[in-house]
């Protein structure tokens, strides 16, 4: 789809995005977006690199993890060659992304436990790549269409790649999950974004196309008074 065709299909979307953002600052829309995370499940990672679970303590049984919390872990995740800091970001990303249900997290933890050194190295390298090359970062985690780390599909790997950017509004990697894809399909009609029910994996081409659409929507929705970033479009797409 050409840019002109894209613009004609999504004429309503920039206004939708602006209305959703409203008078809120980016700090409120992005950095403060978080959840209360019970700690009971996360005792599972005790003794593993990256433990204990990062977060702002609320009481003895829970922490608060926001996007801002995760952004604070990003620089170390990218630069710590041991991989321990990347694992710290990874555990917190899983907790933020699943909340109390912790769906598939036990499997994700156990898949890494058996090869912790390799997992840390892969996560650190992908975090570093995320700031400059979304294609290479995605392919490192999903070579030849498979998941490099057990039970880590694109909906969650792209969360990790996004948070590795540390909150930079120009970070090239965004979260692309089933809800973001559904909204992108709704506003563009592009079949590449139409995910059948129950299917969660997609390829790097789909990821890059969504990133392009988010950037285009962010530019279209921005005004002289308020610049809207691609991750704010992602938040809108999830909510929409």
Query: Is 39 found in the same domain as 110?
Result: yes
Query: Is 75 found in the same domain as 126?
Result: yes
Query: Is 118 found in the same domain as 67?
Result: yes
What digits encode the pLDDT tens for the residues 193-235? 887 765 668 999 999 999 999 999 999 999 999 999 999 999 9
**Residue 41: closest CA among 113, 104, 83:** 104
In a domain, 148, yes or no: no
pLDDT value of position 240: 87
In a domain, 165, yes or no: no
Give the three-class secondary structure for 6.
helix
In a domain, 167, yes or no: no
* Residue burial 158-170, b: 16+ Cβ < 10 Å; e: rest: bbbbbbbbbbeee
Residues β-bridged to residue 64: 36, 56
Range of the structural domain that residue 129 is part of = 33-133
Peptide bond into 117 cis (omega under 30): no
How many whole angstroms separate alpha carbon 2 and alpha carbon 36? 42
Query: Is 231 found in the same domain as 196?
Result: yes
Positive/negative CA dihedral, 117, 118, 119, 121: positive
The residue count for the chain: 240
Low-confidence ranges of the chain (pLDDT < 70): 1-10, 197-200
Query: Is 38 found in the same domain as 26?
Result: no
What digits encode the pLDDT tens for the residues 46-64? 999 999 999 999 999 999 9
Total structural domains in the chain? 2
| This prediction's pTM | 0.94
pLDDT value of position 1: 45
**Residue 226: closest CA among 9, 22, 11:** 22
pLDDT value of position 168: 98
């Amino acid at each position: 789809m050409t840019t002109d065709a894209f613009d004609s299909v999504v004429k309503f979307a920039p206004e939708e995005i602006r209305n959703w953002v409203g008078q809120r600052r980016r700090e409120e829309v992005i950095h403060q977006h978080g959840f209360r995370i019970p700690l009971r499940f996360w005792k599972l990672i005790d003794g593993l690199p990256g433990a204990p679970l990062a977060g702002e303590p609320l009481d003895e049984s829970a922490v608060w993890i926001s996007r801002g919390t995760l952004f604070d872990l990003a620089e170390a995740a990218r630069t710590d060659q041991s991989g321990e800091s990347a694992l710290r970001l990874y555990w917190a990303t899983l907790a933020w992304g699943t909340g109390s249900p912790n769906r598939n997290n036990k499997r994700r933890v156990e898949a890494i436990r058996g090869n912790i050194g390799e997992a840390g190295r892969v996560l650190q390298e992908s975090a570093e790549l995320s700031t400059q090359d979304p294609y290479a970062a995605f392919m490192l985690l999903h070579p030849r269409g498979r998941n490099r780390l057990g039970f880590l599909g694109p909906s969650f790997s792209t969360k990790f790649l996004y948070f590795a950017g540390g909150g930079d509004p120009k970070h090239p990697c965004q979260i692309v999950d089933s809800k973001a894809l559904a909204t992108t399909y709704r506003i563009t009609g592009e079949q590449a974004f139409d995910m059948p029910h129950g299917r969660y994996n997609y390829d790097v081409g789909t990821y890059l196309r969504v990133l392009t659409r988010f950037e285009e929507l962010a530019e279209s929705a921005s005004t002289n008074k308020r610049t809207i970033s691609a991750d704010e479009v992602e938040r809108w797409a999830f909510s929409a």
